[in-house]
Structure 1
Amino acid sequence: MGVEIRSFRDLVVWQKAMDLVDVVYSLTSGYPKEEQYGLTSQLRRAAVSIPSNIAEGYGRHSTSDYTRFLQIALGSLNECITQLEISVRLRFIGKDGVKEALELCAEIEKMLVSLVKKLRVK
């Protein structure tokens, strides 16, 4: 028997996305000061957008709206991955430092894709 979902907070994908926000904020706290309004801000906004869109879609109570917001979350996730890779290229963080964030991103991506597929079947 599955776990009853009463709120978006019960969704494991939302919980993992919130963990990613924590990791991204921690990583970007060491970015150069001149990136405060550049890559630091952009990466944080992309990360925050993921759980926000999962929650907003869940609250719409329409499968098509929910699916659309999950796809937006996927887009923000891809944006986040790209910005993490840019951060490594610019040497703001090392490959070891970004490992946890990228692993979380991969996990979240699988969960979002799976959830979208399940919703499309309904």
Structure 2
Amino acid sequence: MQIYAESKQLAIEIHKITLTLPKFELYEEGSQIRRSSKSVTSSIVEGYGRKRYKADVIKFLVYAHSECDETIIHLDFLFETQSLKDENNYKRIRAEYESLSEKINVYSVSFSKP
């Protein structure tokens, strides 16, 4: 699945970025964004593993969507507090997460159709 591959790649990228944050952010906002970014992928995998049960798949896609949006807000916090200083990288990753969020939503809506 494309959303799985994208979410995994982005989570790895987020993980690497957080290791360059100031020490005080490493365990606070850095930890939060690592967990939310990895939860996107985990929720997609868990939903796919329950593919026999349509309601479960949809539920986990909703979780993935909300974790994706949570990752965006953590990314915003890091940039706006100047803990993440590379504006081009911030804008690129944020745009990729926004795109992923839309794709997860589209996939969950299409999966919901009879």
Normalised by the shorter chain, which TM-score bucket?
A: over 0.9
Q: CA deviation at 1:26?
A: 2.0
Percent pairwise identity? 23
- For structure 1, the 5+ residue unaligned runs are 1-10
Unaligned runs of 5+ in 2: none
Residue of structure 2 equivalent to 1:25: 15
* Structure 1 residue 23, shift from structure 2 partner: 1.6
How does 1:1-122 map onto structure 2 within 5 Å?
Answer: 11-60=1-50, 61-94=52-85, 95-122=87-114
Residue identity matched to 1:15: A
Ranges of 4+ aligned residues in structure 1 off by more than 3 Å: none
Structure 1 length as normaliser, TM-score? 0.87
Query: Structure 1 stretch 63-72 or stretch 96-105: which is displaced more?
Result: 96-105
CA distance in 2 between partners of 1:25 and 1:100 (Å):
16
Displacement of 1:36 in angstroms is: 2.4
Count of equivalent residues: 112
The offset of 1:93, in angstroms, is 1.4
State the Cα RMSD in Å.
1.1
User: Which residue does 1:4 correspond to in 2?
Assistant: none
Q: What CA distance in whole angstroms lies between the structure 2 residues aligned with 1:89 and 1:111? A: 26
